Structure 1
């Protein structure tokens, strides 16, 4: 095996192992928050509204991704999501081997997180994703598609695209996950991540026959996000609002007060010039009248 290929394979394997750790950390924290919310609601019924429950779950997942992604951002990229891995493969950020290894690592990390959660907490596992009553599979698939597309687009625009705020990408990505949960956690459980749905389902035995929704929807969302990102790149989106990411103070708008002063000054000078011209014209007319 050539030395370069060997080094690349070793790096991909090492990155995948660390991606497994990162995915486990992310989902143990995030799903742990959801498990705690369910346990608290069961222990003391009526103490929190359904709206508070939704907000708690959204906050748990959003903050967990923010923290875990920031911790592993410079280690593996902090993907933790097979759908994001596919998107980064399609835009050329990672290669096919790393994408495959990352996907396996992310699924394994999700299973590990769910198993740990089941072992560490009393009672049944309460973190499976499922469609709410009245939500059909088509609605669930498209909800998952759109919210996953938003998450993948956040990764592409904030992390894959390099700019002055790229180091802060985990904040925007975590907030995107939080927003997606606010919308969809009631309707679909807001997986936004096939591994997040797969881990608990694998541990509990795939009791829900609609699990395929959490593969089809998120992968369609990844393709949608990549298509939109490709369109933005093709039309050179950065030229639409030039210098938007610049840190050069000279690219800032001028001082509005200075602009007003210049405008007033120009108007005064214009008035004075007009008065002088009128005076000269009037004087000439008077001289002509006197001569006649």
Structure 2
């Protein structure tokens, strides 16, 4: 994947991704503080108590020392407390359903995401449009994603914007993110969902608000099809087509109909038996 579409979690482009990176680096720092001195101490002890060192004294009758036990058990206990505190605070601060704070007066943009076999459908209810395998979002505006699956369980992940979250058939999950700077960021499926799983990739285009409004207006005025129950039935068929498509309008309530299964779910990936299984049958 080209650098422009880098999926590195160490190069955050959003506030949630930056907080995730901080948790990772803080946890790493805590472990290094313990691991490095331990490795150095192990090397020094092995060198000092080598067979050829006549200065090293050994207490062959040593059985127990309360001080040694205190040191040996207090270090891992402190590590657990530090790591537990970092994770506990981070997990509450980065709760996927918790809205991202932004400048006063800026309303979140809602994007409804449907995981298909094997592509992504993005519905913009406020703008009344929809796209396939193309996610366009405004920079600096909170993003509220509502996610579901038309088939098997999947996972939505844009590493440089923030946390991963599962999309499941018959229910809706929520994820709040914010793109801090313009760019094109790789998005992917992070959960195996059949033979086309590796093709479930898309590019997230983070653009200024004005550019986003212009793009949405152009899509709405385009000669592209409308997305309703009929076209959705076509989309839910299994396909490894990675092409990007837009729909000039989207049927209101389509996402909720998918979640409530008023629109029949897809059949899911076919069961594939190995040659060995077939022979056993």
**TM-score normalised by the shorter chain: which range applies?**
under 0.3
Greater per-residue strand proportion? 2
Q: TM-score, normalised by structure 2?
A: 0.23
Q: TM-score, normalised by structure 1?
A: 0.23
Greater per-residue helix proportion? 1
